[in-house]
Amino acid sequence: MLEKSLTINESFGYMTLERMGSRYPSRLSFSRSMLRRMKKEKWVVDRVKFDLDKDGYGTAIYEINTLNQIYSVVCFSQFIPDEERSDRVIAENWDTTYAMHIGKISAKDLDRFKKNTPLQEAGRNSPCELVLSRGNKSVRLFKKIVNCLSIGQQPTIEEINDVGYLLRTTAVYGSGKFGLSDFDRTRSTTHFDQPFRAEMLAVYIIREFSIHLVEHIAYHQNPSQAVKLNASIKRHIGIGNSTGLGMAPFIIKHPKLIHKWMSQFDKVLNEIIKIKHIDERKLNKLSSLLKKSKSYLDEVLTTDDYQKTKNKKSFYELDKIIDYCKSIKTSDLKDTRWNDLIKFSEANLSFDAQEIVKVQIIELFPEIADPLAEDMSESDDLFIDPSATVNELINIIENRYQWSIDTDFQNKNNTYLFWYISEEKLEPRLGERYNEQGAELEQHLGIGKMVSELYHFLKENSTETKNLTIAKFLLIHPEYRGIIRRIQTLTNYPFGEVSDNILAKNTLPLNMLRFKLSFFGASRYDPKSDRWLRVSFFAGAPFYEELNSQNVEDWGFATMNSYQ
Amino acid sequence: MSFSYYEVYTTSLRAFSSMGFPYGADEDAAYIIAWLELNKFNGLNSLVDSIGVLDNKYDGKIKLNSHNDTSIDLNYASLLMKGPGLIDFYQSELDDKKDLHITLNNCADPEYLLPLLFRSSKKIFYCNALWLDTNSLIQFCEVKNNIMKIGIASNQEPINKEQVRIYISNEHKFQKKFDSVTCTITSKTIQDNLANGISPDENNWKIISKLAARTFVPESEESRIKGAGGSDDAND
């Protein structure tokens, strides 16, 4: 139903947890737009320091030269025993650690980084740093590739596909964390004016480093025979990432930003469906992209049964839309619109497959999508409308939060979960309210419950109260400031609110994680429980030295055949 | 040690939450403190001095004077609790008026008005406020177009101790004259301060961090097991 911009009520359907958990990366994703800008503005990457011993331990620095500013990524590699290697936030040692700095790194800076970066959360950063990160080796693939390269052989692409990366980041911090530059400053004074763009550049450089690291170790293991990775298989190596619950509170705490991301996606589709007829070349291209998506789904590996089922279902369902594309005769193209394909997929495919169809259609229209990908930022400010009346607020709630009003919060299953911050490294976690301690310290993330409580309180009040302005009501009931401010602000941000109760027992937090990761551009979703997963970034993307105007865009849904 | 605005705001937010400020009120109060700290008004120091009157004593309710709702007796309750609601209220009262003169009596912490007036300049065309400081000098601030000037203004109508007079207007009708402007806050000065980082007093930071830590759930084995990343294939 995309013949025009979605109405507010239609928008709600797009923000249910199930829909959010079905999303795929697109041209709007931050990894894509970052690489595009890098190519467009001809950023130059130089490895200015590579001081590693034969085992690959030491320091490397990469400089990214833009037209008027240099950024540096400093990389530290150290030995850690296998038993200390962990995806957990509470880990204290990592194979590699990184910081991204504004400017060149002086000897004094390097000394400071050496003392702080390997400590990660326990160290300090200055406002001149944009990103702090760390990553551990996939020991299985790392050892395999070192051994192959050192004897002059190449690993098979199947071996690479089994894991997908040499290093797996377990955190990529930015935006004011641990002393890093606040995003307001980053946005105003650096090239990273879009959300998570600096983080994406850092991750891309870490991927470069992972290749340099493995080749360096292989060379020192056997200098006379060692070879470098073949370009034909190297691109399949992405950079891993292990992600947990922190992404879910982010979505609730930044509703205007989330709206922005979704509304830009919606705008792209709405522009596309205005096109009066389908171009045959584009239709053929779409068929080929859908077939590539099928190959991706066939090849991507996960141990999670839920994800396996979703992938398998999408794999088979994509045949329906491919057949539908085939069925459109050349003579009918002038009477067919892209919306017909979208409507067909909405009527016949699961949410996952629908999303694949949409992102692949978007792939055909860079002139529409790419400018919008450069406008993904939004202020977090929420405002009270003090002159509105309580009655008007009630109307907004009834129009916008029916899902919340309809939820029975007396039923314990609907208040079963609580979101909290653990004192262990301040890790965001999810508890069971009736079985675990700490519910009194829950974060204000149960929006549905708060809205419901406010609504029922307002409805029970007198007509006199309902005629009060919000300003006067809040003088008497300041305890409702937060939820009223949110409801009023989001009146014009229909994608801003998750339209589901995230305190319910059956909540699958992974859905929120996948939503955010799709906008980052993550692929190869590999859930490890209902609340954390592993993914890859930049799998299939060209490395810096081979980046060109053709390959900067063709790496979505990369498969083992993509590089022939 | 340098901290980001995000860290000061987040730590203050948690501190207010731990002291019983409800959702929304905690955000406003954290904004006030972080803004003051960023703009070098020692917000965290003021907060530390206020803990005794705030901790588990939240009261954001405001009773209007039935005869004159532009005069409020704060009875020394902190503007961290009452300020945001007051500014919202007077902003709404301005809808059908050209301007408003407001008097706050028995106000213990007028400096907390600065961030609130600065923020309100997105909605209110012009506002100013004045009060007596501890040296009996008249502190004066005015805000227009997201630019705040703060200084001393002696040539004013008499003002009582612990009284604050606020003027808000939909048009810039008049301007009190500064004897001296001690500080101007603009988007540029804010950017400069963000670039330099925030360096709060170490002891104050420890105190606020300790308050913030009251919002964290103590660790337990059960909790740890459910956290992200716990699997036996970390080397894979």
- Chain B CB within 8 Å of residue A123 CB: no
Among A472, A495, A446, smallest CA distance to A393 is for A472
Which residues, 6 or more positions from A501, have their beta carbon under 8 angstroms from its beta carbon? Answer: A403, A404, A407, A414, A446, A448, A449, A507
Which residues 50-69 in chain B show a CB within 8 A of chain A?
60-64
DSSP string across B207-232: HHHHHHHTTSBPP-HHHHHHSTT--S
Of B89, B223, B227, the CB nearest to A386: B89
Give the minimum alpha-carbon distance from B24 to chain A in angstroms, rounded to a whole number.
Answer: 3
Which residues, 6 or more positions from A274, have their beta carbon under 8 angstroms from its beta carbon? Answer: none
Q: How many CA atoms lie within 13 A of A518 on its CB side?
A: 23
In chain B, count H helices and then E strands.
8, 7
Chain B environment of A531 (Cβ under 8 Å): 226, 228
- Chain A CB within 8 Å of residue B227 CB: yes
Confidence bin at B174 (pLDDT 50/70/90): low
Average pLDDT, chain A: 95
Q: Return the pLDDT at B223.
A: 75
Cβ separation of B219 and A189 shorter than 8 Å?
A: no
Q: In a 3-state reduction of DSSP, which class is residue B177?
A: coil
**Tens digits of residue pLDDT in A221-257:** 999 999 999 998 999 999 999 999 988 899 999 999 9
Whether the CB-CB separation of A200 and A30 falls below 8 Å is answered with yes
**Tens digits of residue pLDDT in A32-67:** 999 999 999 999 999 999 999 999 999 999 999 999
Give the minimum alpha-carbon distance from A287 to chain B in angstroms, rounded to a whole number.
Answer: 36
Q: Quote the radius of gyration of chain A (alpha carbons, Å).
A: 25
Q: What is the mean pLDDT of residues A489-505?
A: 96
CA angle B79, B83, B89 (to 5 degrees): 155
Q: What is the 8-class DSSP label of residue A540? A: T
Integer Cα distance of A362 and B67 in angstroms: 62
In chain A, count H helices and then E strands.
23, 11
Q: What are phi and psi of A428, to 5 degrees?
A: -70, 130
ipTM value = 0.95
Q: Tokens representing A313? A: 């279902």
* Residues facing A242 on adjacent strands: A534
Q: What are phi and psi of A538, to 5 degrees?
A: 60, 20
Of A91, A163, A176, the CB nearest to B5: A176
pLDDT of A2 strictly over 80: no
What letter represents residue B215's amino acid?
Answer: T
Q: In a 3-state reduction of DSSP, which class is residue A157?
A: helix
Integer Cα distance of A131 and A206 in angstroms: 12
Give the minimum alpha-carbon distance from A341 to chain B in angstroms, rounded to a whole number.
Answer: 39
Burial of A430 (0-12, 13-18, 19+ CB in 10 A): buried
**Tens digits of residue pLDDT in A64-104:** 999 999 999 999 999 999 999 999 888 999 999 999 999 99
**Tens digits of residue pLDDT in B3-49:** 999 999 999 999 999 999 999 999 999 999 999 999 999 999 999 99
Integer Cα distance of B56 and B67 in angstroms: 32
Whether the CB-CB separation of A519 and A20 falls below 8 Å is answered with no
pTM here is: 0.96
Give the minimum alpha-carbon distance from B215 to chain A in angstroms, rounded to a whole number.
Answer: 6
Q: Return the pLDDT at B127.
A: 94
Cβ separation of B229 and A244 shorter than 8 Å?
A: yes
Q: In a 3-state reduction of DSSP, which class is residue A538?
A: coil
Give the minimum alpha-carbon distance from A96 to chain B in angstroms, rounded to a whole number.
Answer: 14
Cβ separation of B216 and A421 shorter than 8 Å?
A: yes
- Chain B CB within 8 Å of residue A412 CB: no
- Chain B CB within 8 Å of residue A391 CB: no
Among A33, A86, A227, A239, smallest CA distance to A147 is for A227
- Label residues A521-538 b or e (16+ Cβ within 10 Å = b): bbbbbbbbbebbbbbbbb
Q: In a 3-state reduction of DSSP, which class is residue B148?
A: strand
| Cβ atoms within 10 Å, residue B76 | 12
Of A188, A424, A478, the CB nearest to B191: A188
Confidence bin at A421 (pLDDT 50/70/90): very high
pLDDT of A8 strictly over 60: no
Least CA distance to B192: which residue of chain A?
A: A185
**Tens digits of residue pLDDT in A95-147:** 999 999 999 999 999 999 999 999 999 999 999 999 999 999 999 999 999 99
| Cβ atoms within 10 Å, residue A561 | 10
- Give the A:B interface size as CB pairs under 8 Å: 199
pLDDT of B157 strictly over 90: no
What letter represents residue A304's amino acid?
Answer: D
Residues for chain B: how many in total? Answer: 236
